[in-house]
Amino acid sequence: MPMPKTMSAMVLTGHGGPEKLVYYNDFPVPQPGAHDVLIEVSACGLNNTDIKVREAQYAVDFDPNSDLDETSAAASIAATNGETGLSFPRIQGADIVGRIAAVGNKVSQNRVGERVLVDFSIYHAKDTDGSPRMDLSNVDYIGHGADGGFADYVVVPALNAHKIQRNIPDAELATFGCATLTAEHMLSRVSAKSGDKILITGAGGGVGSAAIQLARARGAIPYAVTSRGKEEQILSLGAEACICRQDFTDQSGGFDKDAFLVAVTEATRSNRSVDVVIDQVGGSMFHGLLQALRPDGHYISAGTISGYTPRINLHTVYMAFLNIHGSSQGQPEDFARIVDYIEAGKIGPTLGGIFPLSQLHHAQKTFQAKNYVGNIVVVPDAKWKEFGEPDARR
């Protein structure tokens, strides 16, 4: 069958609001390079990064002690040697599932037809044998430094396309991706092991819900901080206990640290016994999370849902010998472990909702409301008939 020359795609045309995402029915179908594959997309998951990049929220160089307005430091991700890989127009979408429709001339034709899950990282650095590796100063991701999966077709490096044989619907398979790799790399960076008590904030989101399952896969014991009403689903994923954030926060954003620490102690049955904090929230909760840790415990962050300039008492850090880490994306071996977990049935999908690609604006609004557990997924409109009416949810 000849490949079409044009496709439907949701295209990011610049920094700004949702109006910067424009839906096209005649966007050119990309062509694979020598070491690439062309994937016919069947589903693509949403992430916070999609929205933060659109809004230029990554104020990496902002100094909270300066007199500057933090908005002056906002930018896209500086992904490659300090330079952003983002240019416009750009098709976002990192969590890609689909089938290989064509291959470059250095890739085996036998791969055509494979159902694949895409490792979204663009590994510019290489090991001595030529295999990709993570270099913190030289990494980008599909949907930012190259076009992603909010389209009918996408081109990715062949090495990033992992064949999946387990019988999981495509939309559910697309919940494994950015969030799962982020969570796995966080656990890897702190060397989480069997028996460790892992306190996970934002447990209802993609990273948090993945971290619960991945902690259990390592034999660790996850404790979830989440919104009331999500407890049953969170416990079904493997959480040992749920700590409801409404018990220590108010509608104005106030945080009762003492109440929080009491709740953690009750859940873990021991005071300051947490081995690892997996944090996606930040903000006013930050210092309470540090105080929940045992001496020589590990705090690791890969998100700032409640703010990225929290106050900190350094006495708490150095007198308890605490370890503070930052993390983003992951290594190729992290993604390979995730594929192994999927195939072995050690982790399962957590689907919060499905939308047609043309309704990405609505999907992102639902995503930001956080009234679900897991991840939101979009599917190309041409495949939406498999899911019923255009306003269907799951």
pLDDT, position 217: 95
Tens digits of residue pLDDT in 365-377? 999 998 899 999 9
Distance CA 282, CA 279 (A): 7
CA distances from 8 to 36, 45, 145, 382 (A): 21, 17, 20, 9
Q: What percent of the chain has pLDDT over 90?
A: 70
State the first-to-last Cα distance of the chain, in angstroms, to the nearest integer.
33
For range 136-149, the mean pLDDT: 89
For range 92-108, the mean pLDDT: 97
Give which of 303, 122, 145 is closest to 210, Cα–Cα. Answer: 303
b/e map 299-335, b = 16+ CB within 10 Å: bbbbbbbbebebeeeeeebeebebeeeebbbbbbebb
pLDDT, position 79: 65
Alpha-helical runs (H) found in 91-226: 170-173, 178-189, 206-217
124 neighbors 138 (Cβ within 8 angstroms)? yes
Residue 55 pLDDT greater than 80, yes or no: yes
What residue ranges define each of the domains in the chain, with the CATH number in brackets? 6-175+349-387 (3.90.180.10), 179-326 (3.40.50.720)
pLDDT, position 59: 65
Give which of 211, 220, 228, 216 is closest to 274, Cα–Cα. Answer: 220
Written as six digits, the tokens of 192 are 């989480």
pLDDT, position 387: 67
Alpha-helical runs (H) found in the chain: 48-54, 170-173, 178-189, 206-217, 231-237, 257-268, 286-292, 314-319, 332-344, 360-369
For range 293-307, the mean pLDDT: 88
192 neighbors 183 (Cβ within 8 angstroms)? no
How open is the CA angle 333-160-141, to the nearest 5 degrees?
90
Phi, then psi, of 26 in degrees rounded to 5 = -135, 35
Tens digits of residue pLDDT in 252-287? 767 899 999 999 999 999 999 999 999 988 888 899
pLDDT, position 391: 46
187 neighbors 210 (Cβ within 8 angstroms)? no
Distance CA 367, CA 358 (A): 15
Residue 128 pLDDT greater than 90, yes or no: no
